[in-house]
Amino acid sequence: MVIKAIQYNDFGNEEVLDLVTVEAQVLLDHQVRVRVCSVGLNPIDYKIFEGVKQLRMLSFFTKLRHPSKWFESKKSLFPRGVGRDFSGIICEVGKGVSNFSVGDEVFGTIISAPGLGTKKGALATEICVSETEIALMPKNIDFDHAATMGVAALTVGGAFRKIGLSKDDTIVISAASGGIGSIAVQYAVSMGATVLGIASKQNADYLKSLGAIPIAYGENVKDSILAATSKPITKLLDCYGREYVDLGFELGLKGENIGTLVPSPSVILRGAKFTGPRHSNYDDFITMSNLVSNGDVSIHLDKVYDFSLSDIKEAYKELRMGHTKGKKVVKIEQ
């Protein structure tokens, strides 16, 4: 049996990607085979196919420890798949799987060590994944929307756990109209927290529709925040980068109350928390699913692309520009 998949054989920009026909994976114990219907895109996808530093370092140290790998390293690292988040229908169940059956409609994400990625990718007509990487799809959404939930569920669930978000908090969230931020805003609002979301002026109405007080990025962000609420800011979740961790400290927060999804050495030295899926657990899938089922979280689709090489290259180019509203999705017609 053959499948179609996006793969690459060297690190680089979108031009390294290829659409290939390959043998389907062998189904292992505790895995299910999923006929993929849609794939949600995340910035981590392109960070990985560009060759994040950790991946290059891992490969270098492996070669130091096993000199023969200097000659076979490409074979061991490549070809690699692309993409993590998916939705689809289970078409085969492996030994030891107890919670899922053939025909179940599921969403999920391919889990790897932080920053490293895996050899398999979600951008394929079929994938084999562990039952701990999937959950049943909420009944009220379609495959395109469900495909965006995996990384977001683990990231937001993990981050809010790490910074101890509660209903009494007033939280600032940066990049609040993006793939993670837009879900984090609604999640925090559903908990009862007061949320200030930072994005461009153009997204102010969108942020309001999510339940946040909109704050435009640019100059005087701190003053805008202080003018927008009389409540003291108690937490900050940064979905953009270091400047917003600095903002958290300027607002008087301690490092333990600042979470960032985008680490840098200075952020960590100052005591802010690098967080996300690393602080998640399986229940975060279920929590997200319930939030979507009861309408507390709705997902905005920025754009839906075809499962063609040209569309996928274009999708990642656009995602990299950093102004996605909600999530980008690739639909896999089968």
Ligand X SMILES: NC(=O)c1ccc[n+]([C@@H]2O[C@H](COP(=O)([O-])OP(=O)(O)OC[C@H]3O[C@@H](n4cnc5c(N)ncnc54)[C@H](OP(=O)(O)O)[C@@H]3O)[C@@H](O)[C@H]2O)c1
Residues in 32-51 at the binding interface with ligand X, rule: CB under 6 A: 42-44, 47
Minimum distance from residue 173 beta carbon to ligand X (Å)? 10
Tell whether residue 259 is a contact of ligand X (CB under 6 A): no
* Binding mask of the shown chain, residues 155 to 184, with x at each position contacting ligand X by CB under 6 A: x------------------xxxxxxxx---
Q: What is the 3-state secondary structure (H, E, C) of the chain?
A: CEEEEEEECCCCCHHHCEEEEEECCCCCCCEEEEEEEEEECCHHHHHHHHCCHHHHHHHHHHHHHCCCHHHHHHHHHCCEECCCEEEEEEEEECCCCCCCCCCCEEEEECCCCCCCCCCCCCCECEEEEEHHHEEECCCCCCHHHHCCHHHHHHHHHHHHHHHCCCCCCEEEEECCCCCCHHHHHHHHHHHCCEEEEEECHHHHHHHHHHCCEEEECCCCHHHHHHHHCCCCCCEEEECCCHHHHHHHHHCCCCHHHEEECCCCHHHHHCCCEECCHHHCCCHHHHHHHHHHHCCCCCCCEEEEEECCHHHHHHHHHHHHCCCCCCEEEEECCC
Residues in 93-122 at the binding interface with ligand X, rule: CB under 6 A: none
* Binding mask of the shown chain, residues 284 to 313, with x at each position contacting ligand X by CB under 6 A: ------------------------------
Minimum distance from residue 123 beta carbon to ligand X (Å)? 16
125 versus 275: smaller Cβ distance to ligand X: 275
Tell whether residue 217 is a contact of ligand X (CB under 6 A): yes
* Binding mask of the shown chain, residues 130 to 149, with x at each position contacting ligand X by CB under 6 A: --------------------
- Check: CB of residue 225 under 8 Å from CB of residue 252: no
58 versus 262: smaller Cβ distance to ligand X: 262
Give the residues across from 172 on adjacent strands: 196, 236
33 versus 328: smaller Cβ distance to ligand X: 328
Minimum distance from residue 239 beta carbon to ligand X (Å)? 4
Tell whether residue 276 is a contact of ligand X (CB under 6 A): yes
Tell whether residue 277 is a contact of ligand X (CB under 6 A): yes
117 versus 179: smaller Cβ distance to ligand X: 179
* Binding mask of the shown chain, residues 63 to 92, with x at each position contacting ligand X by CB under 6 A: ------------------------------
Minimum distance from residue 20 beta carbon to ligand X (Å)? 26
Tell whether residue 240 is a contact of ligand X (CB under 6 A): yes
Which region among 99-107, 136-144, 251-259, 319-327 touches ligand X (by CB under 6 A)? 319-327
85 versus 126: smaller Cβ distance to ligand X: 85
Sequence-separated (6 or more) residues with CB below 8 Å from residue 235: 163, 164, 165, 169, 170, 171, 172, 193, 253, 257, 258, 259
Which region among 27-35, 193-201, 245-253, 288-296 touches ligand X (by CB under 6 A)? 193-201
175 is written with which tokens?
């990049």
Residues that bind ligand X (CB under 6 A): 42-44, 47, 151, 155, 174-181, 198-200, 203, 217, 239-240, 261-262, 276-277, 319, 322-324
